[in-house]
């Protein structure tokens, strides 16, 4: 199904001297299935006149400026007309401007021109500024102006498309996108609930907690005598809680598989270095060890694939905590108050080790 976009067009000009011209322009805009907007649409409001004008211009896709023989009403204390202020605001806001000036200002009837010398000079300066800023169309009568506006808008919409308005009747692209987003959120909530339920059915046969796994990998070792580098294999026994305690914080806001493998490889420090050597760099975890950890954490219901939207060029795999994983991590890492009568808790670990030897 095709959806029609209707663009809103702000028509800016003086009013009493250009009533016929404005009527032609507004009719031309309607005939293009666009929505004309201007001072005719303003209603009584608690907002100031300029606040209303700004808000309406902000809602428009294109700005049509018509300059005849009058400068227009001045904005209090600013010394410029509302028409010129509207033009400057539209230009500053980046709204496409289509400008139309009278082809023969000297032939405009006296009743439609400025009698005040100051206002006449302001009009001439404004007209010159607009003609320097944009390519303008020169018109001689209302009918001609309507045709110019129609053709100019058709071209501008084609070469400089704007968002416009789409009827939101429940089947428009916007409504469908909102439904997709809502269903995606609901789907994720259901996945989280199912993940929690499935994880809650653990019969106790899965290794977890203080149960240990042998992690294996490689690292670079440097000889302190001749500074030669060599690759050494390492292997350490680590509990599942120690692994989750190390990986968990990175998963709170989702992280890449690459980062998780890097964190896991840090356990190599528990594999002693021989005398006369020191660890250099490039510690890596074997793919077999990584896969075993990944599958086990998923089986325990602690982690799941990331769901955040990424850039089209981001090809990384992301992982996140499940609700169950989040609760387990908090249980592992949250600091608790020591009980006043917990004598054991008041003894530092270093002193405990000393006392145990005596």
What is the tens place of the pLDDT at every residue in 198-243? 554 555 789 999 999 999 988 887 776 776 777 888 888 999 999 9
Domain contains 12: yes
Q: How confident is the model at residue 174 (pLDDT cuts 50, 70, 90)?
A: low
Give the Å distances, CA to CA, from 207 to 215, 293, 299, 333. 15, 11, 10, 20
Give the Å distances, CA to CA, from 41 to 6, 37, 52, 81, 91. 17, 6, 11, 19, 21
Domain contains 349: no
- CA–CA gap between residue 145 and residue 137 (Å, rounded): 9
Query: Same domain for 113 and 251?
Result: no
CATH number at residue 243: 1.10.10.10
Query: Same domain for 241 and 112?
Result: no
Residue that is last in its domain, among 120, 138, 159:
159
Query: 48 is in which domain, residue-wise?
Result: 8-159
- Top-confidence residue, 225 or 280: 225
Domain contains 263: yes
* Domains of the chain: total: 2
Domain contains 226: yes
* pLDDT over 50 at 357, yes or no: no
Domain contains 185: no
Query: Same domain for 26 and 154?
Result: yes
Q: What percent of the chain has pLDDT over 90?
A: 51
Q: Which of 214, 264, 271 is nearest to 239 (CA)?
A: 214
């Amino acid at each position: 199904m095709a959806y029609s976009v209707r663009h809103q067009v702000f028509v800016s000009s003086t009013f009493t001297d250009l009533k016929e011209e404005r009527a032609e322009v507004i009719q031309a805009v309607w005939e293009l299935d666009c929505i004309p907007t201007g001072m005719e649409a303003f209603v009584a409001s608690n907002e100031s006149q300029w606040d209303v004008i700004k808000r309406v211009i902000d809602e428009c896709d294109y700005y049509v400026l018509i300059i005849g023989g009058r400068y227009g009403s001045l904005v209090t204390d600013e010394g410029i007309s509302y028409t010129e202020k509207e033009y400057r605001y539209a230009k500053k806001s980046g709204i496409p401007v289509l400008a139309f000036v009278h082809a023969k200002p000297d032939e405009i009837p006296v009743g439609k021109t400025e009698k005040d010398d100051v206002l006449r000079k302001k009009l001439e300066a404004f007209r010159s500024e607009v003609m320097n800023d944009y390519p303008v169309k020169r018109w001689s009568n209302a009918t001609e102006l309507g045709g110019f506006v129609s053709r100019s808008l058709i071209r501008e919409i084609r070469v400089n498309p704007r968002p416009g308005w789409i009827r939101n009747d429940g089947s428009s692209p916007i409504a469908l996108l909102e439904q997709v987003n809502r269903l995606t959120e609901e789907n994720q909530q259901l996945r989280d609930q199912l993940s929690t339920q499935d994880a809650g059915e653990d019969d106790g046969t899965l290794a977890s907690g203080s149960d240990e796994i042998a992690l294996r990998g490689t690292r670079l070792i440097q000889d302190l005598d001749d500074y030669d580098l060599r690759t050494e294999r390492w292997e350490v026994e680590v509990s599942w809680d120690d692994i989750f305690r190390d990986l968990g914080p990175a998963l709170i806001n989702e992280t890449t598989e690459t980062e998780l493998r890097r964190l896991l490889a840090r356990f190599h420090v528990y594999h002693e270095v021989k005398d006369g050597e020191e660890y250099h760099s490039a510690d890596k975890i074997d793919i077999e060890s990584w896969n075993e950890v990944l599958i086990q954490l998923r089986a325990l219901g602690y982690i799941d694939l990331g769901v955040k939207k990424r850039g089209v060029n981001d090809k990384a795999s992301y992982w996140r905590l499940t609700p169950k994983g989040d609760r387990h991590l908090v249980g592992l890492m949250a600091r608790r108050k020591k009980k006043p009568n917990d004598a054991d808790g008041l003894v530092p670990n270093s002193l405990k080790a000393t006392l145990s030897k005596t």
